């Protein structure tokens, strides 16, 4: 009898241990912990922007296209506005880009209403460069955060197709440490595409010269696109957007 009890206890422990280890690992990965933006410079506008986006969800009759990300996506409202108006306004698009956001802020926003009550045809996701730039997160951790974002979208928007973009290149050249982190993250997240619900697109070649240099004529701070950069982005992405939104 005692032998059977010991065997059963060992079996339970063998089953529980991986789950406990996984839970402990999650606790150690900041990219997986939903949280609001805590940067001092964002305190006056970040939560008001979140509230404004919740109001937009109620006031905008139709949302067919979502853009989800950080300052690079946020910039469609600034340097990229003319391009946005040309390509996306007619598609009933909503911009959910927030400057400074990492994966954990996107997770918090998704859990707090920013996609409630809608069923877009397509959501475009590009996030992760701030995980590299602010904390130098390991690519595996950033990729885990991106995977969690995708899982949230699949749960909350089951009818919506997701176009996952490779993290945009940054830094002057391929030797830039943050460029290397982004590239390594992109290699991991490319494997998340199933070409049924989630699709992957790497637009790095759109911005880079043949020698890997990122020209300041496209991204003046070698991170954020200017109007020319946004136009290149839109033009390169357009075939995928048309296809995934079911347009002729």
Question: Which 8-state DSSP code applies to residue 119?
Answer: -
pTM listed for this prediction:
0.89
Q: Residue 28: its pLDDT value, please? A: 85
User: For residue 246, is it left (φ>0), alpha (ψ between -120 and 50) or beta?
Assistant: left
Inside any domain, residue 179: yes
Question: Which 8-state DSSP code applies to residue 89?
Answer: G
What's the whole-number mean pLDDT along residues 145-173?
98
Number of domains in the chain: 1
Domain that holds residue 123: 33-244
Q: Cα–Cα distance between 34 and 245 in angstroms, integer?
A: 29
pLDDT tens per residue across span 28-82: 899 999 999 999 999 999 999 999 999 999 999 899 999 999 999 999 999 999 9
Inside any domain, residue 168: yes
Inside any domain, residue 9: no
Inside any domain, residue 2: no
Q: Residue 52: its pLDDT value, please? A: 98
Q: Residue 24: its pLDDT value, please? A: 40
What's the whole-number mean pLDDT along residues 21-30?
60
Domain holding 178: CATH number?
3.40.50.1110
Percent of the chain surpassing pLDDT 90: 88
Question: Which 8-state DSSP code applies to residue 169?
Answer: P
Q: Residue 248: its pLDDT value, please? A: 83
Tell me what the pLDDT averaged over the chain comes to. Answer: 92
pLDDT tens per residue across span 198-241: 999 999 999 999 999 999 999 999 999 999 999 999 999 999 99
Inside any domain, residue 207: yes
Inside any domain, residue 13: no
Q: Report residue 16's pLDDT band, with 50, 70 and 90 as the boundaries.
A: very low
Inside any domain, residue 24: no
Q: Name the packing angle between helices 103-111 and 139-156 (round to 10°).
A: 20
Burial class (CB in 10 A: 0-12, 13-18, 19+), 17: exposed
Per the CB < 8 A criterion, the answer to whether 128 and 185 are in contact is yes
Q: Which long-range contacts (CB under 8 A, 24 or more apart) does 35-38 make?
A: 35/104, 35/105, 35/108, 36/105, 36/108, 37/98, 37/100, 37/101, 37/105
Residue 4 has pLDDT above 80, yes or no: no
Question: Which 8-state DSSP code applies to residue 164?
Answer: E
Q: Report residue 18's pLDDT band, with 50, 70 and 90 as the boundaries.
A: very low
Inside any domain, residue 165: yes
Question: Which pair of tokens denotes residue 168?
Answer: 């945009």
């Amino acid at each position: 009898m005692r032998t059977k009890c010991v065997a059963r206890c060992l079996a339970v422990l063998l089953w529980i241990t991986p789950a406990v280890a996984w839970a402990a690992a999650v606790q150690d990965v900041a990219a997986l912990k939903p949280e609001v933006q805590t940067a001092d410079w964002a305190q006056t506008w970040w939560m008001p922007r979140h509230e404004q986006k919740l109001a937009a969800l109620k006031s905008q009759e139709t949302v067919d296209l979502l853009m989800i990300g950080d300052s690079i996506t946020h910039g469609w409202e600034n340097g990229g506005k003319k391009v946005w108006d040309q390509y996306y306004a007619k598609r009933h698009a909503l911009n959910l880009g927030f400057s400074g956001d990492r994966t954990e802020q996107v997770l918090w926003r998704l859990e707090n209403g920013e996609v409630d009550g809608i069923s877009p045809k397509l959501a475009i996701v590009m996030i992760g460069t701030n995980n590299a730039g602010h904390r130098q997160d390991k690519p595996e951790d950033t990729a885990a955060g991106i995977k969690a974002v995708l899982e949230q979208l699949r749960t909350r928007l089951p009818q919506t197709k997701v176009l996952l973009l490779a993290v945009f290149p940054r830094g002057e050249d391929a030797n830039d440490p943050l460029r290397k982190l982004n590239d390594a993250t992109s290699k991991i997240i490319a494997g998340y595409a199933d070409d049924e619900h989630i699709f992957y697109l790497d637009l790095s070649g759109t911005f880079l010269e043949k020698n890997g240099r990122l020209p300041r004529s496209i991204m003046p701070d070698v991170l954020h696109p200017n109007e020319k950069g946004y136009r290149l982005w839109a033009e390169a992405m357009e075939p995928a957007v048309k296809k995934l939104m079911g347009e002729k």
